[in-house]
Chain A
């Protein structure tokens, strides 16, 4: 406390940066936002993991399309996958089933210190086994899983917590590790939203307001057919196009403005899935909504979680 008082008496730029850095990264945080990220992020990871199930043999089997030879030529020399060692169909199925089980255990909060780390490793392994199959949602979920591996997401809303309470262990205290994980989630939420906005603004269609049409008029990706509505009003097409870029930019910037952080994070829970729906990337939209959960201020909402 004395140190803090001295700093505030004669603050230099370096002191201010140091204090801000320390407050941001080293303030112990309550676990509930990270626990929610674990549950929703885990469900999303399970859905993405499950999307490989039917074609596992066709892609990664011993006679599959994505052969070791193709991978050797395609992947970075630093890339590797646990699935590279599965040379038989049975081995592939066992590894795949094991990964699914780990992600399920992580989602329900069972042995979270272990399952979060293993879940992140298994997920990255599956993506490295077939990099040409990977979409933007996979990239975001991989980040979420690594953040979960850093924090103590099992301290709330988990089987671990239920077992702890049954054994009479005290309620876990706010943790610096959880604070770091939530900080990293917020950094990534801003970076991913900002990078998407920048990438979009390199294309004319996001400036002339027709991008929403080009997204809706694709043959198969859209889950909802908006072409009829868009044909009726050009202004609506323009509005949706500009609103997407505006929201992405506002999200990337606003997460760092204390008064805007909570409303933007709450808005993200609805708007990101809608953008995903319009953009034909619903899982990407959901993944960003999970990141938005991690951006909710941990101070509020604790009472609700305590009741749970």
Chain B
């Protein structure tokens, strides 16, 4: 036995309004997927999306490409973590690792994303040095310090064949994705980024006479 009263249908005018709204949203969704791809969107897609759809889809947290690749086997797909050390503490003091080894789940994942953003944003000229400065500055107050070194380490998983051939350990290895020093001098925050060794130009000897 059905206890429900018969469903009512919206009027033609309401339907037309909803149809327009749905059509607009679906076009916006399509443009967001096409325009937020890691491959980069075309100028046309980016412009139309930015002018017509981003102003109302961004505040709703809907301006995304949903391109969850999980992994492409690249270094930047590895797990990232912070290693922060007080420089005004005794040299023997251990650095703080974030997320720590005991931290699991989504809380740890958020720290890993922040660490990854720190390393990846250094390659973006518009965002360079923003995150490391902010992260370093963020520990000044709780740690009562004004001078810290900040490292982002990323874990590089081993190739399966290398593990089978005994050339690599299944635990993989870490590499330094970012290193810098953040300090407060006369009320001003300074960031000194260490240049990775592989980016240094080789020292050439001047040819003799």
Question: A206 vs B74: C-alpha distance in the bound complex, in angstroms?
Answer: 12
Q: Is the CB of A133 within 8 A of B113?
A: yes
Q: Which of A21, A171, A211, A220 has the largest count of B CB atoms less than 10 A from its CB?
A: A220
The answer to whether B108 touches A220, judged by C-beta atoms less than 8 angstroms apart, is yes
B95 within 8 A of A: no
Interface membership of B198, Cβ < 8 A: no
Which of B5, B8, B155, B160 is in CB contact (< 8 Å) with A219? B155
| Other contacts beyond A76-B63, A202-B72: 13, CB < 8 A | A48-B106, A51-B109, A76-B54, A76-B58, A78-B56, A124-B59, A139-B64, A176-B8, A195-B67, A202-B39, A205-B71, A210-B73, A279-B71
- List the B residue with the shortest CB-CB distance to A175: B7
Asked if B160 and A195 sit within 8 Å, CB to CB, the answer is: no
- Docked pose: A146 CA to B64 CA in angstroms: 14
CB of B170 within 8 Å of the partner chain: yes
Q: How far is the CB of A48 from chain B (nearest CB, A)?
A: 6
* A69 with B134, Cβ < 8 A, contacts A133-B113, A142-B62 known: yes
Map CB proximity to A onto B31-72 as digits: 1 under 8 Å, 0 otherwise. Answer: 001000111000000000000001110111111111111111
A246 to chain B, nearest CB (A): 14
A297 at the interface (CB under 8 A from B): no
A63-B138, A124-B59 in contact; A237/B160 too (CB < 8 A)? yes
What 1/0 flags go to A208-243 for Cβ under 8 Å of B?
001101110111110100010011001001000000
Can you list 12 A-B contacts (CB < 8 A)? Answer: A55-B111, A76-B58, A173-B6, A196-B67, A196-B70, A204-B73, A213-B157, A214-B157, A217-B157, A217-B170, A279-B71, A283-B106
Q: Which of A58, A187, A211 contacts B26 (CB 8 A)?
A: A187
Over the window 147-182 of chain A, the binary record of Cβ atoms lying under 8 Å from chain B Cβ atoms (1 yes, 0 no) is: 000000000000000000000001111111000100
Q: Is the CB of B160 within 8 A of A70?
A: no
Residue of B nearest to A203 (CB): B72
Residues of B within 8 A of A187 (CB): 26, 29
Q: Which residue of B lies closest to A28 (CB)?
A: B7
User: Between A and B, how many residue pairs show CB distances below 8 Å?
Assistant: 222
Complex: chain B residue closest to A211, CB-CB: B71
Q: Is B184 an interface residue (CB 8 A)?
A: no
Please state if A51 and B106 are interface contacts (CB–CB under 8 Å).
yes
- 8 pairs of A and B residues whose beta carbons are closest in the complex: A65-B138, A203-B72, A217-B157, A199-B67, A28-B7, A51-B106, A219-B155, A132-B117
Q: From B168, which residue of chain A is reached at the shortest CB distance?
A: A217
**Contact at B110–A223, with CB atoms within 8 Å?**
no
Q: Which residues of B contact A64 (CB under 8 A)?
A: 138
Whether a CB of chain A sits under 8 angstroms from the CB of B87 is: no
Contacts of B105 in A (CB 8 A): 51
Give the residue name and chain of the A residue nearest to B58 (CB). A78
Contacts of A214 in B (CB 8 A): 71, 73, 77, 157
Measured between alpha carbons, how far is A133 from B112 in the docked complex, in Å?
8
